[in-house]
Amino acid sequence: DAENAIVHMGGQWLGGRQIRTNWATRKPPAPKNTQDASPKQLRYEDVVNQSSPQNCTVYCGGIQLGLS
């Protein structure tokens, strides 16, 4: 369900702004050199294996006051 929502909700419009969807992950440590600076795309299995089965975090940023 989550993977389907990420794929199909990404780019949709809400309140005049495009929705950006992705897996929630911990912030990686700072790269030791510039070659490590480019982030890699995470696979669904990698994210699931890093998180608790009870994890259901949703972040909604940039929402205007009064939006319902």
Q: What angle do CA 47, 8, 57 make, to 5 degrees?
A: 40
Is residue 21 within 8 A of residue 62, CB to CB? The reply is no
pTM for this one? 0.38
Q: Of residues 8 and 50, which shows the higher confidence score?
A: 8
Query: What is the SS3 assignment for 14?
Result: strand
Q: How far apart are CA 39 and CA 35, in angstroms?
A: 10
Q: Of residues 8 and 67, which shows the higher confidence score?
A: 8
Q: Where are the domains of the chain?
A: 1-26+43-68
Is residue 10 within 8 A of residue 20, CB to CB? The reply is yes
Radius of gyration (C-alpha) of the chain in whole angstroms: 15
Kindly report, residue by residue over 9-46, the tens digit of the pLDDT: 889 998 888 888 888 877 777 777 665 556 678 888 88
Q: What is the pLDDT at residue 39?
A: 67
